[in-house]
Amino acid sequence: MSDNTAHDEPELVQLLTPEGELRHHPDYPLDLGAEEVRGLYRDLVLVRRVDTEAVALQRQGELGLWASLLGQEAAQIGSARALRPQDMAFPSYREHGVAWVRGVDPRELLGMFRGVTNGGWDPAEHGLHLYTIVIGSQTLHATGYAMGVQRDGATGGDDGTAVIVYFGDGATSQGDTNEAFNFAAVNNAPVVFFCQNNQWAISEPLERQSRVPLYRRAAGFGFPGVRVDGNDVFASLAVTRRALQHAREGQGPMLIEAFTYRMGAHTTNDDPTRYRVAAELEEWKRKDPILRLRAYMAANGVADDDFFAAVDAEADKLGERVRIECRALPDPDPLDIFHEVYAEPHAQLDLQRAEFADYLASFEDAGAEGGR
């Protein structure tokens, strides 16, 4: 039996080339007005600025860690703009663009990476679950949530609810992710698996994760998969919009492989120069998601120099706000650790809280006695 199927060139859904030329795809039509295109550009620029500021803040000792999204803005903004208010998204720890679109203030993200909160937003209010650090576990959370949506009868029509879960190429090697694929398939769960294939699982390259393109994994579990140019915000929006509609109508799961590149380090604790070459980075710089959209807009009269200057000025103001608000984040009260552990009062937890409060008070008492 021939092994050619493992090496066939996979189809890549692309609507906007790296040079900014618009293409049409028969399966993924997209009709956007000028204002919508300008909105996508603004999202990309502002999210990149938040990310740039956060990296700098970590280098200055203001954050304990930061996972940069540099290079992956189009995959996140395009897919998130396909969501509807009733939908629920499950992120990993790098989906700052998704958080932006779902209305989570950057301050909330900074608080988590500063160590003053465990995630300060209400998932129900924003339709965005809290960040997940354990690789791949959010795929099971999302699948379970989608099965609940299904059992609540919230699918089957145009106004139905869909679920999307974000993860990286490295997570496809995790058991949790493959179990989620199977659960979703056999239960026909309304979930979209959105894999941001940024080519590197920390220092492990893609060829160490899979012999076949990742989107083809879906076929083995019995549901469709598609590869999209993850640096193309138009294609990311169109493909995700169709996949979510597929889910909300009760047709089951889909896998989207967003083929993109992690331009920065895995996190600010990582040094990518130790395992990848500069030429690879330079190649992907020519596919930058912001530059290609700007080229398209300028060539087609969608925006003028005044618009681009205004967005840059807005980014400068946002950057200043991020710096100020990060440094002003208050340290949490030590007793906050006991909040919202249980939905109802819990006697054992109340006892532990009281004991810990007494322990903290003992330091104050000791300090008072020492000052006499």
Conformational region of residue 127, where left means phi above 0, alpha means psi within -120 to 50, and beta covers everything else: left
Mean pLDDT of 223-243: 98
What pLDDT digit, counting tens, does each position of 176-227 carry? 999 999 999 999 999 999 999 999 888 988 888 888 999 999 999 999 999 9
pLDDT > 90 fraction of the chain, expressed in percent and rounded? 86
> How far apart are the C-alpha atoms of 363 and 24, rounded to whole Å?
68
Q: To the nearest whole number, what is the mean pLDDT of the chain? A: 93
Q: Please report the pLDDT score of residue 119 as a whole number.
A: 81
pLDDT band at 118 (very low <50, low <70, confident <90, very high): confident
Task: Render the burial of 242-271: b for 16+ CB within 10 Å, e for the rest.
Answer: bbbbbbbeebbbbbbbbbbbbbbbbbbebe
Q: What is the pLDDT of residues 64-75, one digit of tens each?
A: 999 999 999 999
For 256-298, the pLDDT digits (tens) are: 999 999 999 999 999 998 999 999 989 999 999 999 999 999 9
Write out pLDDT tens, residues 25-62.
Answer: 999 999 999 999 999 999 999 999 999 999 999 999 99
- Residues linked to residue 226 through DSSP beta bridges, in sequence order: 256
What are the tokens at 65? 């860690």
Mean pLDDT across 303-329: 98
For range 91-102, the mean pLDDT: 98
**Residues in CB range of 81: below 8 A, 6 or more apart:** 40, 43, 101, 237
Q: Band of the pLDDT at 9, cuts 50, 70, 90?
A: low
pLDDT of residue 365: 67
Report the distance separating Cα 235 and Cα 78, nearest Å.
Answer: 8
Lowest mean pLDDT among 119-128, 151-160, 265-274, 361-370: 361-370
Q: Are the C-beta atoms of 69 and 76 separated by less than 8 Å?
A: yes
CATH architecture type of domain 34-328: 3-Layer(aba) Sandwich (3.40)
Are 200 and 206 a contacting pair, CB within 8 Å?
yes
pLDDT tens string 136-157: 999 999 999 999 999 999 998 8
Residue 305 has which token pair? Answer: 């120099």
Q: What is the pLDDT of residue 209?
A: 84
Q: Identify whether the C-beta of residue 169 lies closer than 8 Å to the C-beta of residue 143.
A: no
Rounded to an integer, what distance in angstroms lies between the CA atom of residue 101 and that of residue 230? 17
CA distance 81 to 234: 10
Which pLDDT value is given to residue 367? Answer: 59
Burial of 15 (0-12, 13-18, 19+ CB in 10 A): buried
Task: State residue 10's pLDDT score.
Answer: 73
DSSP state of 128: B
* Residue 122 dihedral angles phi and psi, to the nearest 5°: -90, 115
Q: Which helix (H) or strand (E) holds 56?
A: helix 34-59
Three-class SS of 139-193: HHHHHHHHHHHHHCCCCCCCCCCCEEEEEEHHHHHCHHHHHHHHHHHHHCCCEEE
The pLDDT assigned to 96 comes to 98
Collapsing DSSP to helix, strand or coil, 244 comes out as: helix
Distances, alpha carbon 366 to alpha carbons 188, 209, 215, 360, 363, in Å: 61, 56, 62, 10, 5
- State the pLDDT at residue 372: 57
The pLDDT assigned to 371 comes to 57
The pLDDT of residue 93 is above 90: yes
pLDDT > 70: percent of the chain: 95
Q: Which active-site residues does the annotation give?
A: 262, 266, 275
Is the pLDDT assigned to residue 238 strictly greater than 70? yes
